[in-house]
Amino acid sequence: MTRQTKLNFPHPPARPDETPDFSAIDIPEAGILDVPPPELKAADSHDYAQGLIRILNDQGDAVGPWADYIADREDESLLQGLRDMLKMRAVDKRLLNAQRQGKTSFYLQCTGEEAIGGGFQRQLEQGDMNFPTYRQQSLLIAADYPLRDLMGQIYSNACDPLQGRQLPIMHSAREHGFFSISGNLGTQYVQAVGWAMGCALRGNGKIAAGWIGDGATASNDFNSALLSASVYQPPVVLNIVNNQWAISTYTGVASGQSKTYAERVLGYGIPALRVDGNDYLAVVAVSRWAIQRARNGYGPIAIEWFTYRAAPHSTSDDPSAYRPKDEALAWPLGDPVERLKTHMIKRGIWTEERHAQSEAELLAEVMAVQKEVEKHGTFVNPQPISPAEIFRGVYADMPEHLRRQRQEMGY
């Protein structure tokens, strides 16, 4: 029997006015996957690429071999992780607010994904380099990037290390392991591989980390990066943040019939793991394992961080037009802050009172810096950066035609 050929168009489980439905997502028990040896090969990665590495169970206990793998961690590092996430949330909240007040042109939050950048960054060394997307500001928070620089960039004022050249959130912070962000999706994934090849050639012991969203895995450069990494075996960790959405487009449009993004990577001969991105402990454990593996010369490794974009895509977006309003609340892997908090309370190193106090303190800290930075100008009360800045840094030495244009401009 033959069938009529027919095209397939993927659909999300629920649209606005429907009940959120994640029943098709299989959530394995926490603690059931072991810690592979560093020489893990793609061919032996199927369980890790199709499964989900999780440490925190529904009761908030840390369980399984991956929990043991990071058992040496001090309580202090958990406190730090929670603080990173709370600080991230406070920063996102305040900057979103600033955009709503017209003080900047644009903002974009990472709500629900704070654990990923936060936990990953804390495992890197000085000199390692992230090639982030615009949604990885949690890397900067966990790298202790000064809030004054971070916020200056958002306000495009005199505190902006980039002199107002880039759209808000397109940071660049070389000393903090954060490569200059480009708005063009995918381009930087392959650059991370190039940087890592440079590290290997120079023998400097540093690694690179590429970052890409589920939607942008569709780009040609995703293939370029994986193939190059497979061929040359540089020290690179290739992160895929699968937050279920690419603006209004459901992740199924990027995945096609592949079950997981991690599994797709295996076809390149690169081992890959899939991880509960809302489980701070799992993020820390797998990041530490993958970063060490890359640094110790076992070649590239990919990680799919399974999470949910709880916020709108950006301040230009209204998700109520394409997904149920309360979909984030139905996300089966919960909220990373709540989960870590529950675990720490259970562990006896945290309380609700301290949590509330910490939240308030961090918000106050963020607001104090914000107030200070806003004194240097906002879109409501601008203190313009010199227009002549437009011409500086286009080339190392300003060519004659740019000099003429600057003069024509009156500077």
Partner 1 sequence: MARMSMIEALRSAMDEKLSDDASVLVFGEDVGFFGGVFRCTAGLQEKFGEERVFDTPINESAIVGLAVGMAAQGMRPCVEVQFADYVYPAYDQITQEAARLRHRSNEQFTCPIVVRMPTGGGIFGGQTHSQSPEALFTHVAGLKVVIPSTPYDAKGLLIASIEDPDPVIFLEPKRIYNGPFYGDHSGKSVPWSQHESSEVPEGHYTVPLGKAVVRQPGNDITILAYGTMVYVAEAAAKQAGVDAEIIDLRTLLPLDLETIRHSVEKTGRCVVVHEATRTSGFGAELIAEVQEACFWHLKAPIRRVAGWDAPYPHAQEWDYFPGPERIAAALKLAMEE
Ligand X SMILES: Cc1ncc(C[n+]2csc(CCOP(=O)(O)OP(=O)(O)O)c2C)c(N)n1
Binding site for partner 1 (CB under 8 A): 7, 9, 15, 105-106, 156-157, 160, 163-168, 170, 182-186, 215-216, 218-220, 246-250, 253-254, 316-317, 321-322, 384-385, 387, 389-391, 394, 401-402, 405, 409
Which stretch in 84-92, 137-145, 226-234, 244-252 sits in contact with ligand X by CB under 6 A?
A: 244-252
Site mask for ligand X (CB under 6 A), range 6-25, x = bound = --------------------
322 binds, among Mg ion, ligand X, partner 1, none (CB under 5 to 8 A by kind): partner 1
Q: Which residues contact 265 (CB under 8 A, 6 or more apart)?
A: 42, 49, 226, 238, 240, 271, 272, 302, 304
Tell me which residues in 176-215 interact with ligand X (CB under 6 A).
183-185, 213-215
Closer to Mg ion at the Cβ: 64 or 215?
Answer: 215
CB of 165 to partner 1, least distance (A): 5
User: Given the complex with partner 1, which of 7 and 43 has the nearer CB atom?
Assistant: 7
Ranges assigned E (strand) in 36-144: 129-131
State yes or no: residue 309 binds ligand X (CB under 6 A). yes
- Least separation, in Å, of the C-beta of 227 and Mg ion? 22
Count of CB atoms within 10 A of residue 14's CB? 15
d(CA 73, CA 70): 6
Residues 245-304 binding ligand X (CB under 6 A) are 245-247
Quote the CA–CA distance of 198 and 281 in Å, as a whole number. Answer: 31
Please state the separation of Cα 69 from the chain's center in Å: 23
HSE-up of 307 (CA within 13 Å, CB side)? 31
Question: What does the alpha-carbon distance between residue 92 and residue 303 come to, in Å, rounded to a whole number?
Answer: 25
103: nearest Cα among 112, 94, 114: 94
CA distance 42 to 272: 7
Q: Does 405 sit near ligand X (CB under 6 A)?
A: no
Phi, psi at 130, each rounded to 5°: -90, 145
The entry of Mg ion, partner 1, ligand X, none near residue 118 (CB within 5 to 8 angstroms by kind) is none
> Which residues, including other chains, have CB under 8 Å from residue 163's CB and lie 6 or more apart?
385, 389, 392
Q: CB 385 → partner 1: shortest distance, Å?
A: 5
Q: How far apart are CA 66 and CA 129, in angstroms?
A: 25
**CB of residue 22 to ligand X, shortest distance in Å:** 17
313 interacts with ligand X by CB under 6 A: yes
Residues contributing to the site for ligand X (CB under 6 A): 133, 135, 183-185, 213-216, 243, 245-247, 309, 313
